[in-house]
Amino acid sequence: MATGLKSISVIIPTYRRQDYLERAVASVVAQRDLLPRTDVEIVVVDDASPEPIEPPSGIDNLQVVRLEENAGAGGARNAGIAASRGDYIAFLDSDDVWLPEKLARQIDLAGRVGARPLSDKSRLVIACGFYIPNRLGGLLETRIPKEAGTLSDFVGGCWMCPGSTFFAHRSVFGLAGGFDPRLRRLEDFDWMLRFASQGGQLRVARHAGVLIAPSVGSKLEPVEWAVKVLRMKLAEELDLGLNASDNRILQSYLQLELAAARLSGGWRVRGGYHMARSLMLKPRLTGSTEAFWEIEKAVPADVVARYQEMAAAASR
């Protein structure tokens, strides 16, 4: 497989996840064997863990950047990008893992799309499919995100799990800027909106290349703060030029995030209120983001077994 890419930096933010980190790094190292002509650098960002993160031993081309103050996922990614040297940037959350051929499939797609006339690397993000437990039943399922080419496509949510599927030329951060350090939640959504407003395109490698770790839900305070900041930005800083319909869909998604955080914390009445608000803004009979995925209920047995190991480790 000819890649045409010279170097890639994989940014892995982490906070107090030494054991998980070693698993995540190993999944990146496994990608290298399929990319003999591509330099794959690993940048671990220790987001001010109480006990400094120790880099996994015996791993070539790996550096650890330690932050003195906790910056959250977005701030840690910014630090990782600044410290990296790759032509392309990929993100991996430290509790997730990449599966075989994830990076190779994205590189192949980037090479094919980038070879087209008038292609602009600074306006292209490539995601991939992933395995994730269904929020309602908890069963693992395969999701292939839809592709997106207009701002209207992006306002309904951040459905591509960019923390572990994101792959792009580093020039995208010159176009859209970095992650907003004020946000401890919804930082991906904010970034993708800014990216889309500059003509950004999302393409998808149709390969389930990431196994998303079990989630314990969202804490309320960071979500409430993020919603407040996003609304302020939309009113005062960002001129996205949203029409009335797109703005309702965006606000519906913010209400959905508030509902999920409330319900996760056990506040059923307030959670129900936000869910009702979300449905009023965007009437629907299915989940708000279900239209953004192709969903397959069948999952390979080896992937299920690996997920069960991750879930068992998370419960300890």
Mean pLDDT of the chain: 91
Q: How many CB atoms lie within 10 A of CB 16?
A: 14
Residues 69-93 have pLDDT tens digits of 999 999 999 999 999 999 999 999 9
Distance CA 141, CA 162 (A): 17
**Same domain (yes/no): 15, 131:** yes
- Clarify whether residues 197 and 309 are in a common domain: yes
Q: Is 2 among the domain residues?
A: no
Q: Is residue 1 part of a domain?
A: no
* Same domain? 188 vs 277: no
Does residue 136 sit in the same domain as residue 60?
yes
Domain assignment of residue 228, given as a range: 220-283
Looking at the structure, tell me whether residues 191 and 226 fall in a common domain: no
Question: pLDDT per residue over 24-35, tens digit each?
Answer: 999 999 998 889
Q: How far is CA 73 from CA 14, 48, 134, 250, in A?
A: 8, 12, 23, 22
- Pair (201, 225) in one structural domain: no
Judge if 24 and 97 occupy the same domain.
yes
User: Is residue 116 located within the same domain as residue 261?
Assistant: no
Domain shared by 229 and 112, yes or no: no
Q: CB-side exposure of 275: number of CA atoms within 13 Å?
A: 15
**52 in any annotated domain:** yes
Q: What's the pTM value of the predicted model, to 2 decimals?
A: 0.93
68, 49 in Cβ contact below 8 A?
Answer: no
Phi, psi of 275 (to 5 degrees): -65, -40
Domains held by the chain: number? 2
Q: Report the C-alpha gap between 173 and 86 in whole angstroms.
A: 13
Phi, psi of 69 (to 5 degrees): -130, 140
Q: Output the domain CATH number for residue 65.
A: 3.90.550.10
